[in-house]
Amino acid sequence: MDGKFPPRIENGLCGPPRIEPLGPEELGEAGWQAMNRARDLTGYPKDAPLHPFLATMCRHTEMFERYMEFGMNFLLNSAIAPRDREMVILRTGWLCDAPYEWCEHVAAGLREGLTRQEIDWISEGPSAPGWDERDRALLRAVDELHGNATISDEVWAVLAEHFDERQLLELPVMVGQYHMTAFLQNAVRFRPNRDKFGQPLEEESPA
């Protein structure tokens, strides 16, 4: 995939983070409560160094706790299968040219059963030749929501053959959630902990 990545995924976010993470001594009671809640939700070890993303979000603890609880629902309680979820997130991250989201979810996608070949196809989109009808429709839905803010009748009809009503309701919400996350991470310039192939960076921040 060398040379095929969008500019920000290929070259970074063109500058340092715009908001620095809080240090341990700066968190305060509300910050530590939000941090520990986030660690509980994500399974991040409490004895590990502060994760830069979490420590930055603790600058707005009220928003952060609501954001984490809503977002983690898709990772822990989703009606959509984990492999499908990662396809949706990766395609969203690719379309939004979002390096943090893409790099983290390449690794997550591999854990949930996607192959390297399928991740290459996700970067190509629904037109890649390897997809079956179901997976192609899922990616087309992401593309249509990104470009048109809706899903066409043609794509919806195919999705309805493969997904139940709970999953169909959840899909556009999931796409919206990960657009919001991409906007946040791109705007604040959160640095990825992994490279564009999902591998930990040599000087990795704790992940």
Q: What is the pTM of this model?
A: 0.89
- Mapped onto helix, strand or coil, the DSSP state of residue 121 is helix
Tell me what pLDDT residue 204 has.
Answer: 43
Report the distance separating Cα 66 and Cα 180, nearest Å.
13
CA angle 189, 194, 198 (to 5 degrees): 125
* CATH architecture group of domain 82-188: Up-down Bundle (1.20)
Tell me what pLDDT residue 202 has.
Answer: 63
Per domain, the residue ranges of the chain are: 20-76, 82-188
Tell me what pLDDT residue 4 has.
Answer: 67
Tell me what pLDDT residue 3 has.
Answer: 45
| Sites in the chain below the pLDDT cut of 70 | 1-4, 202-207
Tell me what pLDDT residue 207 has.
Answer: 34
Tell me what pLDDT residue 186 has.
Answer: 94
Tell me what pLDDT residue 192 has.
Answer: 82
Q: What share of the chain is helix, strand, coil (3-state, %, to 5)?
A: 65, 0, 35
